[in-house]
Structure 1
Amino acid sequence: MIPITDTIAIDEGEIEESFIRASGPGGQNVNKVATAVQIRFDLAGSANLPEALKERAARLAGRKLTKEGVIVITAARFRTQERNREDAVARLVEILQQAAVRPIIRRPTRPTLASKQRRLAAKSRRGTVKAMRGRASVPPEE
C-alpha cells in the first residue's frame, strides 16, 4: 500500500508500469536500455479513493489524465529504472495529496458598522485637509 494521507492509501497493484527508452543522460546505454518509466493509474476505477478526491485529482492532473480517467506519468529524469520508478510514484502521490486537501470555501462578509464609520470619518478628515488648501481670502478694506 502506498500512503496518500493518514486515512487514504492506494494499492501498488493499481499502478501499471512500463519501461521505455529515455532520451537524455545514459551514456552508451541510452539507446540500449529502457530506463524511463511510464506509470498508469486508473483514477476513475480506483475503489480506495473518495469521489470528491477523484474530481479534484482529475482537475489537478490536467493533461496527464486520459479520456478514460487514467493518469499517465512518464519519468525519465534519472539514469536508472528504480530511481525513475520512485520519481513517477512520488509525482502521482503528490497529485493525490494535493487533491486530498479540501479547499476552504469563502463565505462573503459585510463590513461592520464601526469600520464603515471609521472610513467615513477618515474621508471627512481628508476633505477638511483639502478644503484648507484653498487661497486665503483677503478681508475687504474699509
Structure 2
Amino acid sequence: MPVTVTAQYEIPDAELRWRFSRSSGPGGQGVNTTDSRVELVFDLAATKVFPESLHERALARLESRLVEGAVVIAASEFRSQLRNREAAAERLGDLLRRAIAAPPPARRATKPSKGQQRRRLEDKRRRGQTKRLRRDTGD
C-alpha cells in the first residue's frame, strides 16, 4: 500500500521496506509467536518523489532522525501486524507532511501598547507592596 503524504505526493511501495519482529506489550500468549512489530524504512536521501526544493527541506528538517539517509518508523502498539502497518504508514505520512510544509510567515515584531505597559507596571507595584507588607518588622 503506497503511503500518502499529500494529495500531490505519494510514496510508492517500491520505495518502502518493511521489517517485522516479535513485539513486546499486549498480545497474551500470541505475543511469543506472531511478528506483530513493524518497522517501516523509507530512504529519503535516495527518493525522487519530491521536487528538489522540498527534498532538501525534508532532509534538513529530518536530519536528526535519519539513519544513513533513511527514515525508520517503528510501530508495536497494536496486537495485529496489519494495524501496526497502518499506524507506521500513517506516522510516516504525517512526518513527511510536516517536513515538507512551508515555513510559517516571519513574525513581525511589535511594541507593547501604552495600556499594556501601564498595567504591567501597576501589577509590579501592587506585587511589591504585597511583599513589603509580608516582611518581618522586627517587633
Q: Give TM-score, length-normalised by structure 2.
A: 0.69
Cα distance in 2, alignment partners of residues 64 and 110 from structure 1: 35
The aligned residue for residue 69 of structure 1 is 69
Q: How many residue pairs are counted as aligned between the two chains?
A: 116
The Cα of 1:107 is off from its aligned counterpart by 6.8
Cα distance in 2, alignment partners of residues 45 and 5 from structure 1: 19
Matched, 1:21 2:22: yes
Matched position secondary structure for 2:24: coil
The aligned residue for residue 3 of structure 1 is 4
32 and 60 in structure 1: CA distance in 2 versus 1, 3 angstrom threshold: farther
Cα distance in 2, alignment partners of residues 47 and 94 from structure 1: 18
List runs of 5+ in structure 2 lacking aligned partners: 119-139
Cα distance in 1, alignment partners of residues 110 and 80 from structure 2: 57
Cα distance in 2, alignment partners of residues 79 and 62 from structure 1: 31
Cα distance in 2, alignment partners of residues 78 and 110 from structure 1: 48
109 and 73 in structure 1: CA distance in 2 versus 1, 3 angstrom threshold: closer
The aligned residue for residue 104 of structure 1 is 104
List runs of 5+ in structure 1 lacking aligned partners: 112-117, 124-142
Matched position secondary structure for 1:72: strand
The Cα of 1:63 is off from its aligned counterpart by 5.1
Contact 1:60 1:95 in 2 (8 A): no
Cα distance in 1, alignment partners of residues 32 and 60 from structure 2: 36
Give RMSD over aligned pairs. 2.8
More displaced 10-residue stretch of structure 1: 46-55 or 25-34 = 46-55
| Identity score, percent | 39
The aligned residue for residue 86 of structure 1 is 86
The Cα of 1:33 is off from its aligned counterpart by 1.1
The aligned residue for residue 49 of structure 1 is 50
110 and 84 in structure 1: CA distance in 2 versus 1, 3 angstrom threshold: closer
The Cα of 1:15 is off from its aligned counterpart by 0.7
